[in-house]
Structure 1
Amino acid sequence: MTILIPSYEPDQRLIGLIHKLKEVSGDPILIVDDGSGDDYRGIFDTAKNAGCTVLTHRTNQGKGRALKTGFDYVREHGIKDDIVCADSDGQHLPGDILKITEAIRRHRNHIVLGSRQFTGKVPLRSRIGNSATRMVYAMATGKPVQDTQTGLRGYSSEMLDWLCQVQGDRFEYEMNMLLEAPKAGYDLYEVPIETVYLDDNKSSHFRPLADSAKVYFPFLKFCASSGFAAVLDFALLFLLQWMFGSLFLSVIGARLCSSIFNYTVNRKIVFAGRAQTTARTSIPKYFSLAVAIVLLNYGLLHLFHVNVGIPLFGSKLITEISLFLLSFWVQLKLIFKSA
């Protein structure tokens, strides 16, 4: 077993974690200095003196790239070890790291996740961030996961080649890994661990806006595609009405053009990495979904507004959000599914 710790601008908590691990485990520790610079050389030198292997990036390249550097090192040196990845900020307890070690031995070819339960005092941005990524992952895969953002993870040695091929260099890498695992034939296994946040998680280098955008990028692309299609539908409705004076033709023409636009963008851009189906097989599915969405729109509006008695605005909002999420899931899992 190799314990891999990606690290950027660490403090003495990294050294504390190393000493605690040495007390409970004889497993080698591999640290990747992700371009921390000369100011942090003393900490990494101390880690070397403690018996750790330290690899160094000249510049900061991101957590995903640091992990891949560690995976590459293990792979290229012919080490047949399983790997446990832990963060360097002291928020993963040695006992929990050992739990992951044991779980990997029992669950081969699984991504073993150290899943925090988020009890006690949890920083607001961490609580919101984890809730959001849990929702996106469950919606994208149909499988709920307690902690999609955990940095404490374990991998079987057989998975190393695949781990080096997963896209992403920063925090999005770990989310991409979870999204790509099912089609690669790997399942997930969760092990409950302690929820530890030190100093309100101030040591985290996660950038809420930039890194969140990368984590949620597939869903954001779908939102943008749907938004542009809605604007196109709106504009064409008025243009066709002005040109032909027929509301029926204007509605049908605008919806047809915006649907073709939306289909093309979704197939070529939004789900480009997954779309293994041909246009001949995906077009009928897409437009069948479009028809179903129109029928469901009316049915749900009638249910919420007439039968349940929710005001029209609220009924429309619930309906649109529900159908938007349904459309994303159906296109991801059925229309543009990977081979």
Structure 2
Amino acid sequence: MNSKDCVGIIIPSLEPDNKFLCLLKDLKESGFNNIFVINDGSNESYLSYYQKAVTEYESSLLTHYVNLGKGRALKTAFNHILNEYPKIKSVVAVDSDGQHRIEDIEKCYQASIKNEHALIMGCRNFSKETSEIPFRSRFGNIMTCKVLKMFCGIQLTDTQTGLRGISRELMKIFLTVDGERFEYEMNMILETRERNISIVEIPIQTIYIEENATSHFNPLKDSLRIYSLFVKFIFSSVSSFFIDIILFTLFTGLLSGASEHYILYSAYLARAISSLFNYQINKTKVFKAGDENHSALVKYIILCIVQILISSFATEFLFNQLNINVTGIKIVVDAILFLISFQIQRNWVFKKK
């Protein structure tokens, strides 16, 4: 039996051109026999491409009557393979626009066999200045990588690659991941963090044909979908921040004549109340730490005490030195502490085993 009989090639497709047929030809000549093409709602003028995919290149064709998105296309293929092809142990998802070379698909296939518990990602090199990479693609990918590292602690060189190797076990997991369109690929990456799944990066060629003109990725609309995934990581701290500031302003007004250290006391009270809210949201919604992490509360209390001391003393010190609006000073101080606190919570307080 051909060793490649245990791997499936998944090709989501919308309004293909001749590059799609060239890809199928190269795959067949390289010995890949299990090719699954998903027609994601292309209109009738493109049916000839799909007919050739079936008749000339013996591909399995799965069809969406309307465009449902790349995420849905991948999940349609995962479900079909899991139900109908028990001998397939892993799949490689490939873009239909000719950006992925056969040798790179081969490398991802080999890596998926050796690393069945890891997500394999064929990653392009965006660090070198080359005329082949459109500015929007370079900028968008580098920015997304930095945001992903900052908020999630996941360090990748290419977050938007469509060339991915996925084992049968991981297909079962990724079937349950939210997302129907391009945001699904980012959700897969985030799911690896939640499930402690490793990611193996495979260097591949960086190819952009015709300035990526045939891509259906909308850099504005789909980037907004991707970045919306990070809202949950800042909602808790921002909402807690506003609760803290409102309570601080209220307490300073009430205690201003009661003690010369009214700023310190106000900061303590405000932070204590807002911290209770922040801890619960961070534990259950942001970092999703289970109840087995018994030390999280102790670590969080230690962090809060240190933050309260730094915030209150820094606010009082700067107020005495600058003699400007004390609420404004606290906003600046706490904004800096917010960035530091998030990293500490992610890497220490709520770190999963």
| Shorter-chain TM-score range | 0.7 to 0.9
Q: Distance in 2 between matches of 1:103 and 1:34?
A: 28
1:22 maps to 2:28: yes
Deviations along 1:142-201, one digit per CA (max 9) or x if unpaired, are 453222221101122343322322332222322222232255453222221100112222
Q: Distance in 2 between matches of 1:168 and 1:237?
A: 40
Alignment coverage as a number of residue pairs: 323
Alpha-carbon shift at residue 57 of structure 1 (Å): 1.5
Residues 265-284 of structure 1: pairs in structure 2 closer than 5 A: 265-271=281-287, 274-277=288-291, 281-284=295-298
Relative to structure 1, the CA distance from residue 294 to residue 213 in structure 2 (aligned partners, 3 Å threshold; closer, same or farther) is farther
- Counterpart of 1:31 in structure 2: which amino acid? V
Please point out which of 81, 88, 100 is paired with 2:108. 100
Alpha-carbon shift at residue 72 of structure 1 (Å): 0.8
Relative to structure 1, the CA distance from residue 298 to residue 255 in structure 2 (aligned partners, 3 Å threshold; closer, same or farther) is closer
**Corresponding position of 1:74:** 81
Please point out which of 158, 165, 172 is paired with 2:176. 165
CA-based RMSD of the aligned residues comes to: 3.2
- What TM-score do you get using the length of structure 1 for normalisation? 0.82
Relative to structure 1, the CA distance from residue 102 to residue 248 in structure 2 (aligned partners, 3 Å threshold; closer, same or farther) is closer
- Contact 1:103–1:112 at 8 Å: present in 2 too? yes
Q: Distance in 2 between matches of 1:67 and 1:157?
A: 13
Relative to structure 1, the CA distance from residue 330 to residue 174 in structure 2 (aligned partners, 3 Å threshold; closer, same or farther) is farther
Residues 7-86 of structure 1: pairs in structure 2 closer than 5 A: 7-50=13-56, 51-81=58-88, 82-86=90-94
**Corresponding position of 1:200:** 211
1:152 maps to 2:189: no
Alpha-carbon shift at residue 228 of structure 1 (Å): 2.7
> Which region of structure 1 is more displaced relative to structure 2, 322-331 or 226-235?
322-331
- Contact 1:134–1:147 at 8 Å: present in 2 too? yes
- Counterpart of 1:15 in structure 2: which amino acid? L
Deviations along 1:251-294, one digit per CA (max 9) or x if unpaired, are 222222332333333334334xx231379754333232223345
- Counterpart of 1:133 in structure 2: which amino acid? T
Relative to structure 1, the CA distance from residue 74 to residue 288 in structure 2 (aligned partners, 3 Å threshold; closer, same or farther) is same
- Contact 2:264–2:312 at 8 Å: present in 1 too? no
Unpaired runs of at least 5, structure 2: 1-6, 257-261, 316-329
- Counterpart of 2:19 in structure 1: which amino acid? R
- What TM-score do you get using the length of structure 2 for normalisation? 0.79
Unpaired runs of at least 5, structure 1: 302-315
**Corresponding position of 2:324:** none
Q: Distance in 2 between matches of 1:111 and 1:254?
A: 44
- Contact 1:65–1:169 at 8 Å: present in 2 too? yes
Relative to structure 1, the CA distance from residue 323 to residue 195 in structure 2 (aligned partners, 3 Å threshold; closer, same or farther) is farther
Please point out which of 3, 11, 24 is paired with 1:5. 11
Alpha-carbon shift at residue 45 of structure 1 (Å): 2.2
Relative to structure 1, the CA distance from residue 62 to residue 332 in structure 2 (aligned partners, 3 Å threshold; closer, same or farther) is farther
- Counterpart of 1:21 in structure 2: which amino acid? L
Relative to structure 1, the CA distance from residue 299 to residue 211 in structure 2 (aligned partners, 3 Å threshold; closer, same or farther) is farther
Q: Which has the larger radius of gyration?
A: 2
Q: Distance in 2 between matches of 1:3 and 1:317?
A: 52
- Contact 2:245–2:331 at 8 Å: present in 1 too? no
Alpha-carbon shift at residue 231 of structure 1 (Å): 2.6
Identical aligned residues as a percent: 38
